[in-house]
Amino acid sequence: MQQVIIIGAGFSGIAAAKILHQAKIPFLVLEARDRLGGRVYTKQLSDDLYLDFGGQWIGPGQERMYELCQEYGVEYFETYDQGYNLIDINQKVKKFKGLIPKMDIASLINLDFVLKKLERLAKSIPLESPWQHPKALAFDSISLAAFLDSNCKTNSCKKVVSLACETVFASELNEISLLHSLFYIKSGRDLNTLINIKDGAQQHRIVGGMQTLIEKMAEPFRASIQFQKAVKKIFRENGNIKILGDGFEFTGKKVIMAVPPPLAAKIDFQPLLSMEKRQLLDRIAMGQVGKCFMVYKKPFWRENGFSGQSFADENSPFQSLFDCSPKDGSYGILMGFTIANRAKKYFRESKERRKKLMVEKLTLYFGKGASEPVLFEDFSMTDEVWSRGCYAGLYPTGAWTGFQDAYAKPEDSIYWAGTEASPVWYGYIEGAVRAGEKAAESVIGNLTKLNSN
């Protein structure tokens, strides 16, 4: 029998395991996939070429990620952010520098007003209890889309704010409540941080890919991780917990759940989880995002004065593009985010057609050099059975005020981790690490109390 069983070997599960390992508490990690990382997935295509199909960035304020990089000797580098960005709206492509694109004066004034209003409202949200805000019911009764409809007075303003928010939340904006949006913004410091590269959440990338870090974290206790173990049932009886799946059964004293909410919802818990947690699990939907990579012999756009960043309205399959070339520039890699309804439409096409769509858009932006890639790859966590989406679970209208902290709250001997259990950096790898560590520390405290009794 194990003292603790951790379900899920993403950053949250491995962060929990690291704490337990250091405390010399016996544990077992069960992972349904054949790899570590969860919603982090670095695909190694050759000795010198890798693509981050999942989470890839860290930035200021994400103290635990930087501390882990230092602890394990993992190098990170600046995301390329020099030169002109591009804005593609109303079928016109314009270049600009900085965060705010070139627009008509009325749209610029409106854009400044909307962004500052979102920032001001987000600052007032109590992270540990968003439902206790004096206007929580009002904020939770409307979607972010409805808020933008009321506050965006020009078409260009609405398009720019919408594509920025879609990139941040990875969803259609009518699918998330205003309260959740404000909480999410405050959780990641502020909207500027979430949008920006410099001094923002996209400032640094990991040399060799994000999976490099989690592999090093797990190395000391690799023997305590079992892969291709999809948990189907969790039975609590006589003070113990039985974990069952096809061809396996394990027993432990405590369980840490570190899987995406839709996967937890499919597990058969006996006795049942609380009504509040069950109903909330049924309501949380995952973000929908595809990452599309075009690989070139070199980052040719840099020589032409472009950053590789672009932002586009609904006439493009991609809300945004970023330069994701390796640190040494040995390849040039442009990565496009296709999100929500755009992603659904894009992934209905054949891979050949998807490549053609991306080449056409990149050629429009960066010229003839973009028509000669050496490789194209794309990937969607929505189509991965053990992720069901990315970046995180999203709260629809009524969920925060209706169910409050039901998701993160422990039930009996079951503790909840994952980025969705963190009030700080919710939706980010930093949040996953913090939630995993907190769950492990709570388990240790409870076990210590039981042993002392």
pLDDT at 123: 98
We report the CATH number of the domain holding residue 183 as 1.10.405.10
Q: How many other C-beta atoms can be found within 10 angstroms of the C-beta atom of residue 271?
A: 10
What is the rounded average pLDDT for all residues in the chain? Answer: 97
- Residues 204, 69 within the same domain: yes
pLDDT at 254: 98
- Residues 62, 205 within the same domain: yes
We report the CATH number of the domain holding residue 28 as 3.50.50.60
Q: Which of 193, 225, 259 is the last residue of a domain?
A: 193
Q: How many other C-beta atoms can be found within 10 angstroms of the C-beta atom of residue 45?
A: 13
For 120-134, letters b (16+ CB in 10 Å) and e give ebbeebeeeebbebe
Q: Is residue 126 part of a domain?
A: yes
Q: What is the DSSP string of 9-65?
A: -BHHHHHHHHHHHHTT--EEEE-SSSSSBTT--EEEEETTEEEESS--EE-TT-HHH
285, exposed or middle or buried, with CB in 10 Å at 0-12, 13-18, 19+? middle
Q: Is residue 236 part of a domain?
A: yes
Total number of domains constituting the chain: 3
- Residues 25, 60 within the same domain: no
pLDDT per residue over 118-138, tens digit each?
A: 999 999 999 999 999 999 999
Decide which of 47 and 18 is more confident.
18
pLDDT at 452: 75
pLDDT per residue over 369-391, tens digit each?
A: 999 999 999 999 999 999 999 99
Q: Residue 51 pLDDT > 90, yes or no?
A: yes
- Residues 222, 205 within the same domain: no
The mean pLDDT value for 164-168 works out to 96
- Residues 298, 372 within the same domain: yes
Q: Residue 98 pLDDT > 90, yes or no?
A: no
pLDDT at 44: 95
- Residues 69, 120 within the same domain: no
Q: Is residue 403 part of a domain?
A: no
For residues 214 and 201, what is the distance between their CA atoms, to the nearest angstrom? 19
- Residues 67, 185 within the same domain: no
The mean pLDDT value for 320-334 works out to 97
- Residues 111, 136 within the same domain: yes
For residues 422 and 407, what is the distance between their CA atoms, to the nearest angstrom? 10
User: pLDDT band at 450, cuts 50/70/90?
Assistant: confident
Q: Is residue 281 part of a domain?
A: no
The mean pLDDT value for 102-111 works out to 95
The mean pLDDT value for 279-288 works out to 97
For residues 396 and 399, what is the distance between their CA atoms, to the nearest angstrom? 6
Q: Residue 320 pLDDT > 80, yes or no?
A: yes
Residue 273's identity, in one-letter code, is L
Q: Is residue 87 part of a domain?
A: no
Q: Which of 383, 400, 433 is the last residue of a domain?
A: 383
Q: Is residue 96 part of a domain?
A: no
pLDDT per residue over 400-449, tens digit each?
A: 999 999 999 999 999 999 999 999 999 999 999 999 999 999 999 999 88
pLDDT at 453: 64
pLDDT at 113: 98
- Residues 189, 134 within the same domain: yes
Q: Residue 343 pLDDT > 90, yes or no?
A: yes
The mean pLDDT value for 192-212 works out to 97
- Residues 137, 235 within the same domain: no
Judged by phi (left if over 0) then psi (alpha if -120 to 50, else beta), residue 8 lies in left
Could you list the residue range(s) of the whole structural domain that residue 186 is in? 104-193
- Residues 150, 186 within the same domain: yes
The mean pLDDT value for 313-322 works out to 97
pLDDT at 451: 75
Q: Which of 129, 161, 193 is the last residue of a domain?
A: 193
- Residues 187, 326 within the same domain: no
The mean pLDDT value for 263-281 works out to 97
Q: Is residue 139 part of a domain?
A: yes
We report the CATH number of the domain holding residue 343 as 3.90.660.10
Q: Is residue 309 part of a domain?
A: yes
